[in-house]
Amino acid sequence: MKKTTTTLRVRYGETDKMGIVYYGNYATYLEQGRTEWLRDMGFSYKWMEDNGIHLPVVELSIKYKAPARYDDVLTITTFLKKIPTYRIEFSYEIHNQGGQLLITGETSLVFVNSSTNKLQRAPDYLLEKLV
């Protein structure tokens, strides 16, 4: 399935006293990977919201393998797991600049109509890019 790669540098404020990335920041890193995945498809979260679709996260899991540290350059690889229906599912890997696998993760999001707040199917404009 479609995948993208994003890089970022760990900022000081994302770490604890030992210079290790605080565990909760990885969810933000996954969001950045997902945002860039959508952008690579030709859309942004803002554009989708402006066109009536919200994408709330309904599931998140992360497996921590090794710590990221202050000033590391991280590579976030975001994979689409399958063609979306009402739900879109991603898996992730984050590696440091040395290629060491730091985390694996998964998220599930649902497509919600912003006018009705009800689930809806994945929009055609997204599905057309995936086939």
Nearest residue to 45 (alpha-carbon basis) of 102, 114, 119, 127: 114
Q: Are 112 and 55 in contact (CB under 8 A)?
A: yes
Q: Are 111 and 130 in contact (CB under 8 A)?
A: no
Q: What is the bridge-based pairing of β-strands 112-113 and 101-110?
A: unpaired
Provide the annotated active-site residues.
16
Provide DSSP, 58-74.
Answer: EEEEEEE-S--BTTPEE
